[in-house]
């Protein structure tokens, strides 16, 4: 029987065995780094983002400027209740008077030059972008649609031509008849071609009609019922009406919300001046401001938590995310608002 020999603890044979079982240092370091990276990624995924500032209000309606002008004074501060007919904003009377005089001069120039469309185009060049904004946008939109339909027709035409060539190739005939699969494919493409041709024809016709409408409008600038004259007359009447009282009034009983202008602001026609919230409005909305990096972690229809200044937690769904120059504005609506809810500009929005 063979005797076993015990090796000393520090013998070379034992050291070799131990070395084989120990992992290499670089593998250990890589494993530790991967663990840290995974933990960091999990942290980022679970990280909640919080609004920098937010405001809770009822569903609101906007008050727009009827004319171009300068704001002389905002009469009602945010959060105040107004009754129907209360004055909200006062325009600068001196500017309104000068605007009335300017438009009256335009109307006089129109009457003096209405038989010369070229002269009218030169005189009213600054205004024509506003006058023809709608029809110009319509022409551009229809032109894009026409280009798209033409590209689709050209693609189908190429595919249809290839199918016809393949079907008529001698190698495609079986027992003296064209391959049934090729025939079916050619028929399907023929139908698609007819549909694409019809779609292009409709798009082309719509664009041509819009072009004609634009030409007719520009060529009839001097007529008393032309779009230019109607525009000038409308501007004159609205500005004249504003000159008589200088104020914008509340159209119904409401609470004043966000005001977008202040004394000295120069506003354009149809520019938003303020939001007002009807007393009987049932929906509650939150307008929150986030940093652009935080806003990237949000998406529309996400559910967020809204914390009121009273410590009440509300659930809200993101309705719209709008990027501004420095921040992102996020609009949310409250899900199942409680009956005792109050408007507040001291609320916090936190993502779930």
**pLDDT digit string, tens, across residues 165-190:** 887 787 777 777 777 888 888 889 89
| pLDDT per residue as tens digits for the range 81-136 | 899 999 999 999 999 999 899 889 988 888 888 888 778 878 887 777 777 777 88
Task: Provide the pLDDT confidence category of residue 17 given band limits of 50, 70 and 90.
Answer: very low
| pLDDT per residue as tens digits for the range 225-254 | 777 888 888 888 889 888 888 999 999 888
Gap between the Cα atoms of 46 and 49, Å rounded: 10
Consecutive H or E run containing 2: none
Other CB atoms within 10 A of residue 178 CB: 15
CB 132 within 8 A of CB 226: no
Task: Provide the pLDDT confidence category of residue 2 given band limits of 50, 70 and 90.
Answer: very low
Gap between the Cα atoms of 239 and 253, Å rounded: 25
Question: For the chain, first and last CA: distance in Å?
Answer: 75
Whether the predicted pLDDT of 203 surpasses 80: yes
The reported pLDDT for the residue numbered 22 is 47
**Entry pTM:** 0.48
Over residues 20-38, mean pLDDT = 58
């Amino acid at each position: 029987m063979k005797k076993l020999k015990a090796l000393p603890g520090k013998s070379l044979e034992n050291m070799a065995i131990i070395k084989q079982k120990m992992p290499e240092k670089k593998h250990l370091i890589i494993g530790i780094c991967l663990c840290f990276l995974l933990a960091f990624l999990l942290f980022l995924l679970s990280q909640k983002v919080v609004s920098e500032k937010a405001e809770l209000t009822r569903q609101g309606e906007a008050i727009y400027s009827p004319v171009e002008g300068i704001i002389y004074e905002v009469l009602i501060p945010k959060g105040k209740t107004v009754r129907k007919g209360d004055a909200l904003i006062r325009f600068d009377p001196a500017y309104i008077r000068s605007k009335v005089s300017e438009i009256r001069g335009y109307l006089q120039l129109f009457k003096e030059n209405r038989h010369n469309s070229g002269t009218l185009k030169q005189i009213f060049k600054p205004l024509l972008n506003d006058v023809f904004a709608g029809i110009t946008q319509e022409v551009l939109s229809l032109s894009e649609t026409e280009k798209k339909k033409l590209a689709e027709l050209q693609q189908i035409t190429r595919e249809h031509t290839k199918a016809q060539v393949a079907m008529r190739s001698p190698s495609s005939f079986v027992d003296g008849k064209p391959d049934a699969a090729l025939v079916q494919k050619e028929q399907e493409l023929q139908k698609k071609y007819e549909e694409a041709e019809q779609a292009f024809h409709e798009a082309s016709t719509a664009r041509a009609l819009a072009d004609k409408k634009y030409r007719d409008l520009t060529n009839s600038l001097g007529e008393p019922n032309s779009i230019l004259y109607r525009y000038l007359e409308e501007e004159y009447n609205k500005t004249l009406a504003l000159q008589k009282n200088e104020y914008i009034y509340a159209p119904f009983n409401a609470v004043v919300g966000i005001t977008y202008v202040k004394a000295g602001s120069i506003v354009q026609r149809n520019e938003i001046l303020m939001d007002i919230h009807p007393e009987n409005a049932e929906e509650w909305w939150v307008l929150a401001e986030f940093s652009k990096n935080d806003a990237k972690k949000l998406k529309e229809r996400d559910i967020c938590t809204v914390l009121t200044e009273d410590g009440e937690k509300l659930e809200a769904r993101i309705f719209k995310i709008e990027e501004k120059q420095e921040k992102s504005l996020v609009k949310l609506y409250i899900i199942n608002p409680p009956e005792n809810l109050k408007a507040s500009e001291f609320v916090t929005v936190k993502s779930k």
